[in-house]
Amino acid sequence: MNIHTTPLPGLVLLEPKVFQDGRGFFMETWRESWLKPLGAPRPFVQDNHTRSETLGVLRGLHFQRPPFAQSKLVWVTLGEVFDVAVDLRTGSPTYGKYHAARLSAENRLRFFVPEGFAHGYMTLTPVVEFQYKVDNFYAPDHEGGIYHNDADLGIEWPGGIVPVLSEKDRALPGFSEIHSPFI
């Protein structure tokens, strides 16, 4: 596994080693010993799998407040997404900054999003299967989010794609309206 750092401390891309031949491929998709170099505070406790069947589905930007904050390891097994993480750690030199990566079934990249970040993605293909591990269980009373197209964040989403949002994500507040619980 190769680890690629990003400009936002703690946020990394993982590139698995893929062994391919005429029959197909083999790769390790997860190994517990990878947690320590990532700085994950807890082991992963849950795996999630979503399927989107429309180009432009935009999920996010979501986070969970302490004590149910989550670190995530995300990847795509079918299709491609534009994946975004926003630093919500007050006092961080990159507070309010974002980093984006294209994740696809072809590039097999994994994106480690530590707690203290909002996370979201937009589908770039008509069908996407998106999977992720989390290190804390979902707690509805502790969920939070930021409107994906908030001008303060300035996220440069892929052009020419109309976002398809849930009612909940359409109603998310702007960045300046949230009080970050992350230090």
Q: pLDDT tens digits, residue range 36-45?
A: 778 777 899 9
Expressed in percent and rounded to 5, the helix, strand and coil fractions of the chain are 10, 40, 50
Q: Which amino acid is at 82?
A: F
Q: What pLDDT was estimated at residue 153?
A: 97
Give the CA angle between residues 90, 98, 106 to the nearest 5°. Answer: 140
According to DSSP, the residues that pair with 129 across neighbouring strands are: 51, 78
| pLDDT, tens digit, 9 for 90 and up, residues 72-128 | 999 999 999 999 999 999 999 999 999 999 999 999 999 999 999 999 999 999 999
Of the residues 98, 121, 132, 147, only one is catalytic, namely 132
According to DSSP, the residues that pair with 78 across neighbouring strands are: 129
Q: What pLDDT was estimated at residue 34?
A: 78
Known catalytic membership, residue 138: no
Known catalytic membership, residue 132: yes
DSSP-derived secondary structure letter, 36? H
| pLDDT, tens digit, 9 for 90 and up, residues 135-171 | 999 999 999 999 999 999 999 999 999 999 999 999 9
Q: What pLDDT was estimated at residue 5?
A: 93
CA atoms of 43 and 120, how far apart (whole Å): 22
Helical (H) or strand (E) element with 167: helix 167-170
Residue 66 has pLDDT above 80, yes or no: yes
Q: What pLDDT was estimated at residue 38?
A: 80
Q: What pLDDT was estimated at residue 29?
A: 84
| pLDDT, tens digit, 9 for 90 and up, residues 17-41 | 999 999 999 988 888 887 777 877 7
pTM: 0.94
Of the residues 62, 99, 119, 148, only one is catalytic, namely 62
Secondary structure (3-state) at 173: coil
